[in-house]
A and B are shown apart, each in its own frame.
Chain A
Amino acid sequence: GESVGLHLPTLSVQEGDNSIINCAYSNSASDYFIWYKQESGKGPQFIIDIRSNMDKRQGQRVTVLLNKTVKHLSLQIAATQPGDSAVYFCASSGGGATNKLIFGTGTLLAVQP
């Protein structure tokens, strides 16, 4: 039979606009954070990372902001293009005794032409 899963939150933007995707993490001991992009039918692809000793890091058209006070991470994509349409999810290092990456569930970015 058909399985019903949870729907991903969706962010719909117009081509050319800026996109902001958010992520919350739970472990205040996490010291390393990553953003991944996953296109339909493909494996996750690294976009950008940031360590906890930084608040901001910029890449090509992307910026990651880290707010450790509220345990929040955001990914900003400038001048969003149709090729940016994908699921974006964050990962954080477990911190402390949890020596693994912990992955978020993701946000679907839909770019309207």
Chain B
Amino acid sequence: NAGVTQTPKFQVLKTGQSMTLQCAQDMNHEYMSWYRQDPGMGLRLIHYSVGAGITDQGEVPNGYNVSRSTTEDFPLRLLSAAPSQTSVYFCASSYSPTYQQYFGPGTRLTVT
């Protein structure tokens, strides 16, 4: 099992550009989520999905969009990048939103 995979590992964007962060899992988990991690702050939930076709907003959803067409994939789209979106992004999957989350290796994003 590869677990949770994320691409790219690093990305630099200019303000206003858009991009998609990819996430895939091979554990057949129904629950998938995106977090951002900033210095001195805990992981903050951006968006989550409880199954294919179902997504919802987390704590900090503004500027991000998600879709879930398959159980395996959960891409995160930045619509118009801003410097405030400079962060490390983690995708996670689990059997349940309140159970152990399995994390991917992260994407380090810099917006200039």
Contacts and interface: CB of A to CB of B under 8 A. Distances in A.
> Which of B38, B97, B98, B105 has the most chain A CB within a 10 Å cutoff?
B98
A101 B97 contact: yes
Contacts, number: 54
A94 to B, nearest CB: 7
B19 to A, nearest CB: 20
Q: How large is the interface on B (under 10, 10 to 19, 20 to 34, 35 or more residues)?
A: 20 to 34
Contact of B100 (A3, A8, A46, A106): A46
- Is the interface on chain A under 10, 10 to 19, 20 to 34, or 35 or more residues? 20 to 34
Contacts of A42: 105-106
B98 A43 contact: no
A103 B39 CA distance: 14
Interface of B: 4, 35, 38-43, 45, 48, 58, 86, 90, 97-106
